[in-house]
Structure 1
Amino acid sequence: MKQTKIIAAAVLAATAVPTVAIAVVPAMYEERVARAEEDRIIHSPIGGIQTKYWFNYRANVNETQKELTSDLRGASDIEDQRDAWEEYGSELRHERGTYVKAMAKKGYRVPSVYIEGM
Structure 2
Amino acid sequence: MKTKTILPLLALGLAGTAQAALPALYEEQLARAEEKLILTTPIAGIENSLWFDYRIDVTEAQKELTSDLRRASDVEDRRDAWSEYAQELGHERKDYIHDMAKRGYRQGTVYLVD
Q: Please state whether the residue corresponding to 1:114 is helix, strand or coil.
A: coil
The aligned residue for residue 115 of structure 1 is: 112
The aligned residue for residue 45 of structure 2 is: 48
Distance 1:21 1:93 in 2: 33
Alignment of 1:73-84 (within 5 A): 73-84=70-81
2:92 counterpart of 1:95 = yes
| TM-score computed with the length of structure 2 as normaliser | 0.81
Which runs of 5 or more structure 1 residues have no equivalent in the other structure?
1-19
2:68 counterpart of 1:71 = yes
Count of paired positions: 98
Give me the CA root mean square deviation: 1.5
**Which AA in structure 2 matches 1:76?**
S
Distance 1:69 1:48 in 2: 30
| TM-score computed with the length of structure 1 as normaliser | 0.78
Q: Percent identity?
A: 57
**Which AA in structure 2 matches 1:95?**
E
Larger Rg: 1
Task: Summarize deviations over 1:92-111 as a string: whole Å, max 9, x none.
Answer: 00000000000011111112
